[in-house]
Structure 1
C-alpha cells in the first residue's frame, strides 16, 4: 500500500502527519510508526500524529501522538499546533479548533499565521535544589545552566532522563539560560526521541511556568528561544497554580508525499 503523508514542523520540531479519519492505519502498528519516523530508512521525524474523527459532538477531531520510537506518548505541544494547522489545511476547521488528545481537551486558534494552543492547567511544580519538575501534558525536568550554546545536552540529558527518580518511564529534560526579564533560551532532551530536539512545546511551556514560579520573571508572557526558533507562552497565576496557559508559535507544512508500507 502507498500511504499519503504530510510533513510539518513547528520551530524545527518535525512530525509525520496522517489523515486517519477513515482508519487506514491501526494504532497498534508501532513498528510502522517507528520506521516512518526513522531518518535513515523512513521519512524522518521527531514524532508521528494521526488526525482521527472526533469522539464527541464538541470536538472537531482527535489527536493521537506517537514518539519517534513508535510508542504512543503523552501530549506534544508543537505537535498539537501542527495538527491544528493540518486540520485547517484539510478544511476540517477554519481558524478555531476544539480537540481531544491523550491529556484531555484542548482549544486552539490560528491568528496571523501563528497557532495559539491552550495547554492544560498546572497546579503543582516540584522545587528541588538543582531543578524543578512539573507536568505540562508531558513530564519535564527543568534546570538552569550557564553557556547553554556549548552545554552537553545529549549526554547530560540522557543521564537525567534515565536516572533516579525517573528510570525507565523517564522525563524530558530542559536546560535553561536566562537572557533578560522575560526571555529565556532552552535546549531539550526528549524521551522517545532519545536525543536533543530543536524545540519541544510542552518543554517550552514547562520552562516558562518554572521561571515564573522561581521569580526569574514576573511577566505572564514569556518568550522562549529554542534552537529551532522562538515561541511565546502566556498564562495566568491563580491560587490553584497556573491557568489559561497558551503555547504560541508557527506551524508549517514542509511537504506532502507517498511512501510504501
Structure 2
C-alpha cells in the first residue's frame, strides 16, 4: 500500500461516480458541469458513500477513503473514517487503519488533516487516546531503526513520524505517554518535538502532565538558547503547576 496508489484508487472511484478534478482546488460533477465543487464539498458528499460502497470489501473501502484524504486534504474525511471504524455491523480493519496512519505520518509532506484528527479526536478522547498513541508511536519508538538516527537533517521517516506525534501529544494522558517521552529524551534529534509536546501538555485544553516528572524531562533537553517559552514552562513546572488553565497567573 502507498499513498500514491490509494490516491489513484480514490480518483478512479470518484471518476466512476462522475466526479473529476479540474484544478488543484476545484472538482466537477458530470451531471452539473457548470457547478464547481470545493475539496471540502467533495469530502462531505462522497466520503461516506465510499465507506459504504457495497461493491468494495472493507479494506478497499478504507483505502479509498484514505485516498480521498490524500487527494482532498480535508479533515472531514478523517471524521467519516473514525465513524466507520466504530460501526459494529460493518467495521473497517483497525490494523490496516493504523498502518495507513503511520504511513502518512512518515511521508515528507505533512499530513495536516490527519495530525489534527489525532490531536482533537483520538488523543483528546480518553476512550481512544491510549490505543491511538500506542499505535502511532508508543509501540515502536524504543525500537526506532538505528540506521535512521544519524542520517541527514530530516533523520528518516520513523523519526519524522515521532516528531509529528510528539508535537500533537499534549492531550494524551501522562501515564500513557510518559514512557515514550522518556525514550525521546534520550534522542537529541527529538528534543525540540518533545519540548513542544510538553508545552502542549501544559497549555492544551485537555493537556495532561505531572509537573515533577515533566520538569525532570525538561532539564534533559538540549534546546537552542532563547527557545520561546522554555523559561516560563520551566518556572511553571518547578512551581508545581500542572495546567495553564488551572493557574493562568503562573504563566503571566
TM (norm. structure 2) is 0.29
TM (norm. structure 1) is 0.28
Q: Which has the higher strand share?
A: 1
Q: Larger relative contact order (C-alpha < 8 A, sep ≥ 6)? A: 1
